Structure 1
């Protein structure tokens, strides 16, 4: 449930902090006052698209924060726990900063987030319906989607889609196996020959062999240079080791007389240690070396095999072993590839699974369609459509799809004696808006979201019909928090809480939103019914509308 909203330099709001109570909230105001301000801010916090126009003129950024409360076992709690985003407050803090450059930043409970996460969480905690939602009714998938959502068939529908996907995957695998069958044996034979050739060098390391061969090829030169180096370092009459020792003895006498000489002495002392270790290692190296002509010939033969295969397969010799592993993996995959006959059985089995699941869903939909159409009819009749009648029409598909075995149409008639026809063909704009409203309210009754926003969905209705809409929303607010932006006084009168948006002629212009007292509500409802001139008659009418709210309790 939304508990608080803060807007800083957002559109017409310079700094606006607003508490949103539970129940049925309405937001009203004159045209152009900025009623969309609150909705745009909420949408920004829920990860919807924004642009730099939402940054208040003269500012470099807009900052919006929405705070929601939630229950411990709710879907949003599970979502937060999965991502380790819960905090000690037991609330959800959503923040969005929008810059004049068009880019934005977002946070969930203080942790930087991306818009995908915001939208994902937003769809869990808030359901939004706008005046344009009625256009969904004209889209072919909508009747099926609405029927599944209201009747809680989404899990079964997902199982059908998964079964269809598995069936299609098996068809593809079978087709690929049939096409590959002709070349499979030939490719296996070629790979086996290649692997057999590479096998003779598979236990060798080309780099190590090359290094050892190079060392044996230069054995005589290496030994001469190493012997010379050892003599100069330690074995000649005037060798480096002895001379360095003499230098150290002379400098040791004066090291304490100068800080710089002390550093030089220490460096030379370290060099003596390093030189001693190097000399010892060089002597050991010389002692261990021996020339083995047979080993050199063996290495030469191994290198010749590497170079011959490298030329044959046009692969650097050091990469032959890696290529051997790639060929081995390909061979294993080809050998494990199932034959077309076994894959054909899998196609049949997965098709049968899909058809069985789809038949089950089709029956569930047909069983639920009649009572749901009756319920929709009764709800719509109260909105000045006394002869309304709805039916679901099922037409079997020639080729089943991931969505099931039938197309589903919603048929409608508003006139007695005239058979129902497809909704998109015969419903007027006013009828569509009322039907959409009822279907959205029915959907909202089934949602797990704890807040539902209706953005001017009552456009096109008035009088007693608007009053009934207000009652519908008031009844819905007993289960979830409802926020409704409306122009209808009858709807506003049925609310539990009334928010007013007013434009102020500051420089630059700004808007403010604030809750109304009961007396202020009467004034605002009177303005909505009577226009700018508010007289005693409009005030009395406004009071009567409010009294209807209390009489309904």
Structure 2
């Protein structure tokens, strides 16, 4: 429900801060006062296109902020959260700013939003009927959704959409397989021998590291043995070996320490060094014993390395990438073998098709019955809305089907029983279209999800008793949802739960539009003005009071 609307520097509006209430609110005023400005401003906040012309003369920018209560709209709350546009719980703030240069910025709950996101959010919140945009009843999707909602087919429609998606997915896979059968067969054959070749190589990343290390050792075995022998000789095996020299120093100093204890510090350094040199000699001897000049093993290593490098060059990857390549090709091979097994897929496709057609057939039967019922009710309402002899029907045109069922749905209307019906979107008269929309909305008010309805000049071309009926219908609709109506008829204005008057004044040489809510006496005067014109007499005031029931 619309809670507040703040308008600043918009066309001829300086500043307006409006608070809305539930029920039926009427907006009246003299011709040219700007009764439709409120609707134009709200439309801008809901995503209508704008240009620099909407900015009040002399102002830098126009700004519109609309606040909505969305506690009864969990689908909108989920949509906002999904698009990271959520705000305070149960509240949605729509803001639009247009600068004097025509540049526009949009915000939802304080976060920057695209114009498309503004429009999508607006479709959850407000439906505007009349000669303005946001006329959702002209959209084929909205007509289908309204019929399904009236018939209580929401869950079935979702189930059919899922069944259609499953069928089309399987159908696409089959068509792709058939189209590319030859290519798949060729690729399958190629992959089979490639996977076999790579699997036969039996190569792994750890082996690659070990193989390189072993080849390095075998290649330089002679140099390694020579180096180990040299180290042993220097450390312990020749006449002037390090260990013998160090041991000699330690023995000499041990004999002298009794004469000078200061040598103890030197001995404490030499003794660990002697131990480490002895350990180093032992390790070198052990390493030398393990070294082996093995030309045969070296040849095996070189052959293995050659095989790996050949495979890597052939497949244009690094040697260490060969195991990963084998995994990729094996996965693709499994997938192609699945494609090749077309019998199972064909059966699954047929089952999915049969399930879709069964669900869609049941949906069609309910839609047909609901279309006749809704068409009859709207046609009956038209007779009391200055469209005597006219009728409304919902055409269900069968076709091969889509995610929404086996028929296209179109709202059609005829001005007279002798004339063929035409699509609702092609109805020439804006007032006629608005009244038909009003009839539809009243009848479907309990199932429609949009909480706020706005009717702009729905009473064009009518008067007297018909005007009173229009007012009664709007008041009836206001019991279900929030309704705002711009009207010039006192019969409609008198039915409102709330009454706002739009006026135009001159301030500092500029024309400024303002809106005020009327209390009882002021409301009597406004209805009297609508009844009798400029000069309000006691008779017209009395008539106005009677119409208002006061």
Secondary structure class of the residue paired with 1:308: helix
Higher mean alpha-carbon deviation, 426-435 vs 134-143, is at 134-143
Specify whether residues 188 and 428 from structure 1 end up closer, same or farther in structure 2 by C-alpha distance, changes over 3 A only.
closer
Q: RMSD over aligned Cα, in angstroms?
A: 4.5
Q: Could you tell me how far 1:455 is from its partner in structure 2?
A: 3.1
1:548 aligns with 2:517: no
1:470 aligns with 2:480: no
Structure 2 portions without partners, runs of 5+: 231-241, 243-279
Equivalent residue number for residue 246 of structure 2:
none
Secondary structure class of the residue paired with 1:337: helix
CA radius of gyration, larger in? 2
The superposition leaves residues 237-271 of structure 1 with CA deviations (integer Å, 9 ceiling, x where unpaired) of xxxxxxxxxxxxxxxxxxxxxxxxxxxxxxxxxxx
Give the length in aligned residue pairs.
Answer: 489
Specify whether residues 164 and 203 from structure 1 end up closer, same or farther in structure 2 by C-alpha distance, changes over 3 A only.
same
Specify whether residues 293 and 6 from structure 1 end up closer, same or farther in structure 2 by C-alpha distance, changes over 3 A only.
farther
Equivalent residue number for residue 512 of structure 1:
514
Equivalent residue number for residue 192 of structure 1:
192
Q: Could you tell me how far 1:389 is from its partner in structure 2?
A: 3.8
Listed as ranges, the matches of 1:26-425 within 5 Å are 26-71=26-71, 75-76=75-76, 85=86, 87=88, 91-99=91-99, 100=101, 102-108=103-109, 110=110, 118-131=118-131, 144-199=144-199, 200=201, 202-204=203-205, 300-317=302-319, 319-337=321-339, 339-392=341-394, 394=396, 396-397=398-399, 399-407=400-408, 413-415=414-416, 418=418, 421-422=421-422
Task: Output the CA distance in 2 between the equivalents of 1:16 and 1:165.
Answer: 49
State whether residues 171 and 349 of structure 2, in contact with CA within 8 Å, keep that contact through their aligned partners in structure 1.
yes
Secondary structure class of the residue paired with 1:386: coil
Equivalent residue number for residue 253 of structure 1:
none
Specify whether residues 15 and 409 from structure 1 end up closer, same or farther in structure 2 by C-alpha distance, changes over 3 A only.
closer
Equivalent residue number for residue 265 of structure 2:
none
Task: Output the CA distance in 2 between the equivalents of 1:80 and 1:413.
Answer: 40
Task: Output the CA distance in 1 between the equivalents of 2:428 and 2:40.
Answer: 29
Equivalent residue number for residue 245 of structure 1:
none
Task: Output the CA distance in 2 between the equivalents of 1:44 and 1:215.
Answer: 77
Q: Could you tell me how far 1:188 is from its partner in structure 2?
A: 2.5
Specify whether residues 71 and 208 from structure 1 end up closer, same or farther in structure 2 by C-alpha distance, changes over 3 A only.
same
Task: Output the CA distance in 2 between the equivalents of 1:550 and 1:411.
Answer: 38
Listed as ranges, the matches of 1:495-534 within 5 Å are 495-503=496-504, 504-506=506-508, 509-529=511-531, 534=534
Specify whether residues 459 and 310 from structure 1 end up closer, same or farther in structure 2 by C-alpha distance, changes over 3 A only.
farther
Task: Output the CA distance in 2 between the equivalents of 1:113 and 1:427.
Answer: 35
Task: Output the CA distance in 2 between the equivalents of 1:373 and 1:330.
Answer: 56
Task: Output the CA distance in 1 between the equivalents of 2:11 and 2:287.
Answer: 83
Equivalent residue number for residue 261 of structure 2:
none
The superposition leaves residues 49-94 of structure 1 with CA deviations (integer Å, 9 ceiling, x where unpaired) of 4445444444444443322335478555666677694647x54444
Q: Could you tell me how far 1:18 is from its partner in structure 2?
A: 1.6
Q: Could you tell me how far 1:330 is from its partner in structure 2?
A: 0.8
The superposition leaves residues 320-345 of structure 1 with CA deviations (integer Å, 9 ceiling, x where unpaired) of 44433321221121123362222222
Q: Could you tell me how far 1:353 is from its partner in structure 2?
A: 1.1
Specify whether residues 495 and 154 from structure 1 end up closer, same or farther in structure 2 by C-alpha distance, changes over 3 A only.
same
State whether residues 67 and 93 of structure 2, in contact with CA within 8 Å, keep that contact through their aligned partners in structure 1.
yes
Equivalent residue number for residue 452 of structure 1:
453
State whether residues 92 and 108 of structure 2, in contact with CA within 8 Å, keep that contact through their aligned partners in structure 1.
no
Higher mean alpha-carbon deviation, 348-357 vs 13-22, is at 13-22
The superposition leaves residues 409-447 of structure 1 with CA deviations (integer Å, 9 ceiling, x where unpaired) of 65655556x376446699663644432332244344432
State whether residues 386 and 462 of structure 2, in contact with CA within 8 Å, keep that contact through their aligned partners in structure 1.
no
State whether residues 4 and 66 of structure 2, in contact with CA within 8 Å, keep that contact through their aligned partners in structure 1.
yes
Q: Could you tell me how far 1:381 is from its partner in structure 2?
A: 0.9
Specify whether residues 482 and 111 from structure 1 end up closer, same or farther in structure 2 by C-alpha distance, changes over 3 A only.
same
Task: Output the CA distance in 2 between the equivalents of 1:36 and 1:426.
Answer: 23
Q: Could you tell me how far 1:382 is from its partner in structure 2?
A: 0.7
Specify whether residues 391 and 114 from structure 1 end up closer, same or farther in structure 2 by C-alpha distance, changes over 3 A only.
closer
The superposition leaves residues 465-502 of structure 1 with CA deviations (integer Å, 9 ceiling, x where unpaired) of 23221211111111211122333343223212222333
Secondary structure class of the residue paired with 2:549: helix
Specify whether residues 521 and 329 from structure 1 end up closer, same or farther in structure 2 by C-alpha distance, changes over 3 A only.
same
